[in-house]
């Protein structure tokens, strides 16, 4: 397994095909993160009804916005996987094709993600319950339990993330249902455990400096905000919107595009391109490019 070649190809593909950044913008949640900070409004007893209505309206708007970005993230995730595979095989590709593929597999991608979230929450609930029981018995048992639970949790989420990444590509590139894709992803991980763990660890190692660099970049761009805030609120807002935010969004979109391409190229390397059964030029008439209910069997 040539890890270096796969990583280099992922970086170069993300850089050469910049239209993919539009998909990466939604895939990584770069666009959603800006809307996750909701200011708290403390309503006094004599607050006006209009104030409450305004807060509720704003809250509704934020919720709708987050839901919209979440839906787009699932569509763009599938489209980015499909187009990365096209690019890897030297096939024609475009933003419209990516959008069509993302819509086609939206429900399955959504079902897979929601299922993964439920599994994560169930695991966390079990871990918390075990921790509470150990704490109730004795504090020493609790701390000993932490020494086991923390590494176990990290290992669980690491391998679950690997299965999720492979399952997404089985859905998009092999046209599999949700449960079949999970089974295929787990089977591929099991059969190629060493390669999968190696790539997963490399991805984590690379993501750490990339994330730190992005944070430092954002902080450097944001330094003038301190001085502007003392001069004018209007200039502060304008600088933040038009000077700080765009470069951060572009950099984040590129990084998220690279991450998706990395796992798509790795999947193609593991699974073997001859086994890919994905067809785009002439889709079957019984499965048009539209939103379909999820297939779980």
Cα 229–Cα 233–Cα 236 angle in degrees, nearest 5: 65
* Alpha carbon distance 124, 121 (integer Å): 5
Burial 78-97 (b: 16+ CB within 10 A, else e): bbbbbbbbbbbeeeebeeeb
Task: Find out whether 178 and 160 touch, Cβ atoms under 8 Å.
Answer: no
Q: Around Cβ 164, how many Cβ atoms within 10 Å? A: 19
* Alpha carbon distance 60, 39 (integer Å): 14
Indicate the pTM of the whole model: 0.79
- Over residues 181-208, mean pLDDT: 94
pLDDT of the residue at 129 = 94
Domain ranges of the chain: 3-273
* Closest alpha carbon to 264 in 9, 73, 69, 71: 9
* Closest alpha carbon to 178 in 268, 27, 292: 292
* Alpha carbon distance 168, 88 (integer Å): 17
Q: Which residues fall within 8 angstroms of residue 281, CB to CB, at 6 or more apart? A: none
Task: Find out whether 22 and 249 touch, Cβ atoms under 8 Å.
Answer: no
Give the model's confidence band at 3: pLDDT under 50 very low, under 70 low, under 90 confident, else very high. confident
Window from 14-18, 54-58, 220-224 with minimum mean pLDDT: 54-58
**Tokens 């993919």 identify what position?**
20
């Amino acid at each position: 397994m040539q890890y270096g070649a796969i990583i280099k190809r992922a970086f170069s593909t993300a850089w050469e095909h910049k239209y993919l950044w539009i998909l990466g913008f939604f895939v990584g949640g770069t666009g959603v993160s800006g809307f996750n900070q909701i200011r708290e409004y403390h309503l006094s007893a004599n607050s006006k009804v209009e104030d409450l209505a305004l807060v509720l309206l704003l809250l509704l708007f934020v919720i709708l916005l987050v839901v919209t970005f979440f839906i787009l993230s699932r569509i763009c995730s599938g489209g980015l996987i499909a187009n990365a595979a096209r690019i890897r095989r030297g096939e024609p590709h475009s933003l419209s094709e990516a959008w069509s593929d993302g819509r086609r597999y939206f429900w399955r991608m959504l079902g897979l993600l929601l299922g993964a979230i439920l599994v994560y929450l169930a695991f966390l609930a079990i871990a918390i319950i075990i921790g509470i029981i150990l704490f109730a018995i004795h504090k020493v048992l609790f701390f000993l339990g932490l020494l086991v639970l923390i590494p176990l949790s990290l290992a669980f989420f690491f391998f679950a993330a690997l299965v999720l990444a492979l399952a997404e590509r089985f859905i998009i590139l092999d046209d599999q249902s949700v449960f079949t894709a999970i089974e295929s992803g787990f089977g591929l991980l099991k059969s190629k455990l060493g390669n999968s763990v190696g790539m997963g660890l490399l991805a984590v190692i690379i993501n750490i400096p990339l994330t730190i660099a992005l944070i430092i970049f954002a902080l450097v761009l944001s330094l003038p905000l301190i001085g502007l805030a003392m001069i004018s609120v209007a200039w502060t807002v304008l600088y933040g919107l038009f000077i700080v935010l765009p470069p951060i969004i572009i950099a984040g979109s590129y990084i998220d595009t690279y991450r998706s391409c990395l796992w798509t190229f790795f999947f193609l390397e593991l699974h073997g391109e001859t086994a890919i059964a994905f067809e785009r030029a002439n889709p079957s008439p019984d499965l048009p490019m539209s939103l379909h209910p999820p297939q779980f069997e």
